[in-house]
Amino acid sequence: MPPTTFYVDAVLFDMDGTLVDSTAGVVGAWDTFARSYPGLDVKTILSSSHGVRTVDNLKKYCGITDDALLEEEAQRFEQAIVDSSKDNGRPGITMLPGVRPIIDELTPGKDMPNACWAICTSATRVYASAALEVASIPVPQAFVTAEDVKLGKPYPDPYLLGAKKCGVSPDRCLVVEDAPAGVQSGHAAGCKVLGLITTHTRGQMEPCTPDYLVKNLSSVQMKRLGKGVEVTIFMD
């Protein structure tokens, strides 16, 4: 299949599973919480929790309803992701394939001051900043984290805010996502959506109908223009 090339004003990336692989730490964090909250089925949780804010997952699976405790436990969970990512020989938090050349291309220099990319993550700002630093990815000018929106994915709020921070219309943005909840969020915001098969199977991603679906960002090239981004997708 020939490559597809199109133009957008900005690219809005999810973080975990899109730019970085934090699977090892997430598994470790849920294992840690299973000791505090007996009865958690970690395997079941891992199959459906990805792409959703930690506070929403803790409400659902741990039954936490007190707002102060919820915030405290969310911070403890996300710190556990970082702390446990290398336990027992785990690989740690790493950059996913294809990410480096894209981020290097999109990160603005002094001659191109305007933001043409954003990270819109369900993680907290403290954890997201730490994970990006570990993976050697710069924090972008346009950065949306869990605390910035009242409603997280699959609601459109994270990507609507990401587009606003880039100063562009959502319908002129490409969302890059690895989770069904994120794909739904991107569509609800009116964006085109590129789905990645990094944390979910093709069979899990296809029903949420991303506009494009590839294995990972190794199948994508991006070129920063004077205004916007040229995107070329090499379909798997």
| Active-site residue, 31 included | no
Determine contact, residues 119/129, Cβ cutoff 8 Å.
Answer: no
* Alpha-carbon dihedral angle through residues 168, 169, 170, 172, given to the nearest 10 degrees: -90
Question: Beta strand 94-95 with 20-21: parallel, antiparallel or unpaired?
Answer: antiparallel
Determine contact, residues 234/6, Cβ cutoff 8 Å.
Answer: no
Determine contact, residues 145/124, Cβ cutoff 8 Å.
Answer: yes
Among 16, 56, 157, 178, the one annotated catalytic: 16
Burial class (CB in 10 A: 0-12, 13-18, 19+), 112: middle
| Active-site residue, 41 included | no
Those residues with Cβ within 8 angstroms of residue 32's Cβ, 6 or more apart along the chain or in another chain: 77, 80, 84
Among 9, 14, 21, 178, the one annotated catalytic: 14
* Alpha-carbon dihedral angle through residues 105, 107, 109, 113, given to the nearest 10 degrees: 120
DSSP 113: -
Read out DSSP for 3-28?
A: -EEEEESEEEE-SBTTTEE-HHHHHH
* Among candidate residues 231, 15, 27, 5, the one with its CA nearest the CA of residue 118: 15
Q: How far apart are CA 177 and CA 159, in angstroms?
A: 11
**Active site positions, annotated:** 14, 16
